[in-house]
Amino acid sequence: MFNKILIANRGEIAVRIIRACREMGISTVAVFSEADRDALHTQMADEAVCIGPAKSSESYLNMHNILSAACKLNVQAIHPGFGFLAENSVFASMCGECNIKFIGPEPSAIDLLGNKAKARELMADAGIPVIPGSKGAIKSLDEAYAFAEESSYPVMLKASAGGGGKGIRVVESKSKMENAYLSAKNEAMANFSDDGIYIEKMIINPRHIEVQLLCDEHGNYLYLGERDCSLQRRNQKLLEEAPALGISEETRKQMGEAAILGAKAAGYTNAGTIEFLYDKDGKFYFMEMNTRIQVEHPITEMITGIDIVKEQIRIAAGEKLSISQKDIEIRGHSIECRINAENPEKGFIPSPGKISYVLFPSGCLGLRVDSGVYPGCEIPPFYDSMIAKVITHGTTRQDAIEKMKRALSEFVINGVYTNIEFQLGLLTDENFIEGKFDTGFIERKLSSGN
């Protein structure tokens, strides 16, 4: 097992990893930008190193500075968390060249699955259902027109190297194709330095279902049930729950087995997530694979009792999975609400600033808060607006909902705007309670003013 791990991230996920390491008796090194000098993760770690200015490109994305710190402090492994360098194959390779274990998959798997078009081909060849679409990236506007005419509108253009909702365009008619094509390519190039895009038939009002995987370096694979991540705004998840409502045991098993097939086809190791679109007819289609731990991993931990971060570390240390598929038991229901520093009444614009007071909810079984904030800390304007995650677990879905409503009603943050009231509105919406939602639910709700 490792003696010292560097966490190449910030905020709540850095705190989460530090806590797991501490419980495992592993020393930790935090890295921070000048804007995060007093951040919670820097105070909790055994050692902390400044790696650059506030700008991400000069700090949390600065591979050389991070690896210099790792080598200087003799760390044995680096946990990238999510975002920043978590799915960067170059960084993973550089870790290996420095004899530092990257806690994640091999660089080749990151490359293969990071290109959405190539990943789609891989899954189709493995026999996993994929959305009808182009075979790889399309080479011209004419090719996009031809596919759309054959499959019928609406269609979706997606960045081949995409993620985070960037480089995606819905095209509802031929007259809108050219602008969508050019803007998708431009956004893809700006965000990923790769303007490749592919085209798919659009699945109308699907649900977003994902399967959590653990894969060790000895050929053992597990799926830990599924999560419903359909409640999104601008392709960014807001509320997730597990298990997914209204999915049969047969379909649940088929999804899990399909996810394992995909992981095997990619030669995948460590924790990963395969995401599916689930249509109104009960059919599911591969969407993408995330080669890292997910923001929403706590709800899977709550229903399985498995600490995914600790499993990541054990796998990276060369250990075999200590459990098999037959040992996985889903217990109860869990919900996660992402609390963002943003102002819903002004179009969800970010709300950086100083937190003058914070009171986290507590006081019952089945309640967890993952956060990196404290009274007096600054929320910098340079990074993602998520500042906390509230996770509840109950014997039933309604039990988990009621716990979440109680928890959010007690959650107090002064100094910045948050989306807590907006989340409470979702939890009390009749359609959410009845499970009548899909990926377009929040946008429709906002458009209607409800």
The token pair at 238 is 């807001």
Partner residues linked to 379 by β-bridges: 353
Round the CA-based radius of gyration of the chain to a whole number and report it. 21
Say how far residue 386 (Cα) sits from the centre of its chain: 12
* Terminal alpha carbon distance of the chain: 52
Distance between CA atoms of residues 305 and 240, nearest Å = 17
The answer, yes or no, to whether the previous bond of 243 is cis (omega within 30 of 0) is yes
Distance between CA atoms of residues 187 and 108, nearest Å = 25
Amino acid identity for residue 373 in this structure: V
The token pair at 231 is 């409640």
**Residue 208 exposure: Cα atoms within 13 Å on the Cβ side:** 20
- For residues 335 and 240, the answer to whether their CB atoms sit within 8 Å is yes
The token pair at 67 is 């690896």
The token pair at 363 is 């006081």
Distance between CA atoms of residues 122 and 113, nearest Å = 9
The token pair at 235 is 């392709």
Torsions phi, psi of 163, nearest 5?
Answer: 170, 160
Which one from 292, 314, 338, 368 is the annotated catalytic residue? 292
Nearest residue to 61 (alpha-carbon basis) of 44, 85, 38, 41? 85
- For residues 132 and 151, the answer to whether their CB atoms sit within 8 Å is yes
Has 120 been annotated as catalytic?
no
Q: Collapsing DSSP states into helix, strand and coil, what is residue 92?
A: helix
Residues of the chain by 3-state class (helix, strand, coil), percent to 5: 35, 25, 35
- Torsion angle of alpha carbons 189, 195, 197, 203, nearest 10°? 10
Please give the positions annotated as active site: 292
